[in-house]
Amino acid sequence: MNDTLSRLITCSGLVLGSACGMAGTFVTSASLRGLLWGVDGILLLVATALLATHHFRKGNDMIAAGFLVYVAGQTLVLATAGMNPVDGSALFGAGAALWAAALLILSTPNVAVAWVRTVGVIAGVLFLVVALQIFMGRSLTALSTPFPFNAYPFLVLTLLGWAWQRFRA
């Protein structure tokens, strides 16, 4: 796959995946939410796997590893897309923990621009709080407020930042 096609698929996946994910958070229909979150998960998995490959080829092993951790977390979250949020809470907690780890790994090296790294750290810390609460037995779902509901905008900004950086590369 040439770099132009890879860049197009990566950027489209991150942007469309972010849009579907946010839309799924606001819809009231469980079946439509499941569909939107399913599409979101698939698009983000493809995009972040391509980002992992891209950075591995460039010799950015830490960044590549961060995207691989994100892929693992997104896979767990995707597994809950069609479930009742209460039933998928444990899987979502594990996915949120891996999102947090990935976001913190990806925000540490000076590869992304400062604002993307800063927003990534904020998202990582917020999802770490969510994961720890779920692991400690608190009944949180993907739709719980204030968290993780208020963490999603930071995740989406980070994803859009990754898309922007890959697009202009």
Are 76 and 91 in contact, with CB atoms under 8 Å apart? yes
pTM for the whole structure? 0.95
Q: What is the predicted pLDDT for the residue at 161?
A: 98
State the Cα–Cα distance between residues 77 and 57, nearest whole angstrom: 27
For the chain (length 169 residues), average pLDDT per consecutive 10?
92 98 95 97 98 97 98 97 87 97 97 97 98 94 92 97 94
- The C-alpha atoms of residue 5 and residue 48 are separated, in whole angstroms, by 15
And the tokens for 57? 């080829």
As a whole number of angstroms, the distance between CA 152 and CA 119 comes to 11
pLDDT of residue 111: 93
pLDDT for 1: 72
